[in-house]
Amino acid sequence: MKLNLVSARTGSVWVKLGMQTFFKQPLALAGLFFMFMALMSVATMVPVVGLPLAMTLLPAITLGLMAASREATQGKFPMPLILLSGFRAGPVKLRAMLTLGACYATGFLCAIGASYLMDDGGFARMYLGGQAPTAEMMSTGNFQMAMWTFIGLHLPLSLLFWHAPALVYWQNLPPLKAMFFSIVACGRNFWALTVFAFLWMGVMVGTVLAVTAASAIFNSPSLANVMLFPALLMVAAMFFTSLYFTYRDSFEAPVDAEPLNT
């Protein structure tokens, strides 16, 4: 396994490629992202085991979005079944994807559980969508301690799984080895990923400001309510489209992969 070291500016290239690729196949990629959101929402509704189930499925479904991005770069129209690529690649990869999912679900539940101990679950309920945040709640010391506890535990967990599903699927690595190479690659390309993250945060904030400004220009407060949510969903879809490029440029391409194009 050969890791590629990329420059910090590659982070901006990944953002650009994510946007460009999304607009090559906007209907397909937006539709797949909405299917992804729907699958996660339905999974969380399962009584008792909903949250662990959704977190177990997350790595493989994210891989499906990356596979869709790869197809879009080849000029193909990604079909809905590509979202299940991680589950349809044979029994060995299926077991590997489920192992990754179980590891991620365990780590996520430990992180959210640790935050629960800090403020009796206030942050956890807000993060999982069960409680609307209030200014008073968010200003308390316990809430902030819970938030930073979760962030501190979830960040390394995210880096462990950032490339892991793609490494299992395209590089045929076993789950633990894929997680190891994922966090090593993230560390080696820290500045590129930092630029990538801050640019996407900027795009998100810029989208909110643009919609708010349009609402003010047209003197229509309802415009912001109508447009903001779909606009942010589109930005999220472009973000997930760009994840493929962070993997592609961080590792030596396998035989069947597309050549670098940055």
Nearest to 243 by CA among 122, 70, 103, 77: 70
Percent of the chain with pLDDT over 90: 71
Per-residue pLDDT band at 133 (split at 50, 70, 90): low
**Is residue 4 in a domain?**
no
Residue 259: the pLDDT is 37
**Neighbouring residues of 80: CB distance < 8 A, sequence distance ≥ 6:** 31, 32, 35
Q: Does the residue 177 lie in any domain?
A: yes
Q: Which of 85-89, 123-127, 147-151 has the lowest mean pLDDT?
A: 123-127
Query: Is residue 257 one of the residues assigned to a domain?
Result: no
> Based on the structure, what is the number of domains in the chain?
1
Centre a 10 Å sphere on the Cβ of residue 49 and count the other Cβ atoms it contains: 12
Confirm whether 262 is domain-assigned.
Answer: no
Percent of the chain with pLDDT over 70: 94
Domain that holds residue 53: 10-248
Q: What is the pLDDT of residue 222?
A: 78
157's tokens: 């967990």
Give domain status of residue 213, yes or no. yes
The tens digit of pLDDT for each residue in 207-248 reads 999 988 888 887 777 777 788 888 999 999 999 999 999 999
Identify the pLDDT of residue 255: 44
1 located within any domain: no
CA distances from 193 to 35, 183, 246, 249, 255 (A): 26, 12, 8, 12, 25
Answer yes or no: is 3 within a domain.
no
In a domain, 159, yes or no: yes
The string of pLDDT tens digits covering residues 70-115 is 999 999 999 999 999 999 989 999 999 999 999 999 999 999 999 9
Residue 158 predicted with pLDDT over 50: yes
- What's the pLDDT score for residue 229? 86
- Whether the predicted pLDDT of 47 surpasses 90: no
Look over the chain and give the mean of its residue pLDDT values, rounded to a whole number. 90
Q: Is residue 258 scored above 50 in pLDDT?
A: no
Euclidean distance between CA atoms 207 and 188, whole angstroms? 31
Cα atoms in the Cβ-side hemisphere of radius 13 Å centred on 243 = 27
